[in-house]
Structure formats: C-alpha cells, structure tokens
C-alpha cells in the first residue's frame, strides 16, 4: 500500500475555541506549572497580560478541535495502528489569555513516502478574536509499513 498524496493542500473549516481560566488551571496543573500567571488574575495582570494566560503548550488544547478531523479524514487515509507522532513544532506570537476566542484552521501540508514510511505533515494556524496570529503548529505523523 503506497501513500496517497492527493489530500495534500486540503484545508479544513475553522474551529473556534473559547479559552477559560478553569481549563487553563487544569492544563497548567497537569503539566506541572506553578507560575501564578496561569492561576491568578492579579498576578497575570501585574505581569502585563490581559487576563490569566495559558502556558505555551496549551496550544494543543485549542488546536485539537481543528486538527483531529484532518487527522481522521478518510481522504488522508492514515493507518492508525501503524502511526506514531514523529515530530512537532510550534511558533508562538501573541499570548493567549482567558476570554480569548481562538480560531484554528488545519491544512495538509505534505504527504510523502521514504524508506517504506509515510510522512503526513499538517499545519495549524490559530488566530485570536482580533485576527492576530497566536500560534502556528507543524504536526508530523509517521506511518510504518506503507510499502
């Protein structure tokens, strides 16, 4: 089974996520953060944020609703039994704070094959309610045994 690269360039509809302080708290607690800017409104504002801010890797929380339909798209055709998350990149710009409405669009950036492995590269671009980009993610999934 060779990889089918036809879905390259496909873009999915935007997914909106409203950021809340309790979700930030839950996430920050799970990943071991203790900086009060993630928990305490006054501390966040004193540090120059509009409201309680999210740790950088909270990007996975608001991107997931946009990314998952692309990952599971039958036209992309990933064999999940053989898939591993190969690499990940995020580029951050404007900080994300409680109360923000983040819109994320996912696209299939590249599908290729090398040494019997399929490489599926997705890009997510997230913008806030002002239209300002907050993060850009590149997600590479590797599927073994494609040829």
Partner 1 sequence: MKVELKVTPDKYLPHRYAGASGDFNPIHIDVDFAKQVGLPSNILHGLYTMAQVARANVNAAGGDPRSLKRLSVQFRGMGFPEQEITVTGSVKEEGDGRVIVETQAEQGGNRIIRNAEAELETS
Of the two residues 7 and 57, which places its CB atom closer to partner 1 in the complex? 57
CB of 112 to partner 1, least distance (A): 17
Closest distance of CB 102 from partner 1, Å: 14
118 contacts 2 by C-beta, under 8 angstroms: no
Which is nearer to partner 1, 4 or 65 (by Cβ)? 65
91 to each of 32, 46, 147, how far by Cα in Å?
22, 25, 33
Binding site for partner 1 (CB under 8 A): 23, 26-27, 29-33, 35, 37, 47, 53, 55-57, 60-61, 64, 84-92, 95, 138
Of 29 and 144, which CB lies nearer to partner 1 in the complex structure?
A: 29
Q: From its phi and psi, is residue 115 left (phi > 0), alpha (psi between -120 and 50) or beta?
A: left
Q: Which two tokens stand for residue 5?
A: 């690269």
């Amino acid at each position: 089974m060779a990889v089918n690269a036809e879905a390259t360039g496909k873009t999915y509809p935007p997914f909106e996520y409203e950021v809340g302080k309790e979700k930030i708290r839950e996430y920050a607690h799970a990943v071991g953060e203790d900086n009060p800017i993630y928990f305490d409104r006054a501390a966040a504002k004193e540090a120059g944020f509009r409201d309680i801010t999210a740790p950088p890797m909270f990007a996975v929380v608001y991107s997931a609703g946009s990314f998952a339909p692309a990952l599971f798209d039958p036209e992309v055709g990933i064999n999940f039994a053989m898939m591993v998350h190969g690499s990940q990149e995020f580029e951050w710009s404007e900080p994300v704070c409680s109360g923000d409405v983040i819109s994320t669009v996912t696209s299939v950036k590249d599908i290729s094959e090398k040494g019997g492995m399929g490489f599926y590269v997705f890009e997510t671009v997230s913008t806030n309610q002002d239209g300002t980009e907050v993060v850009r993610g590149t997600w590479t999934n590797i599927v073994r045994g494609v040829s």
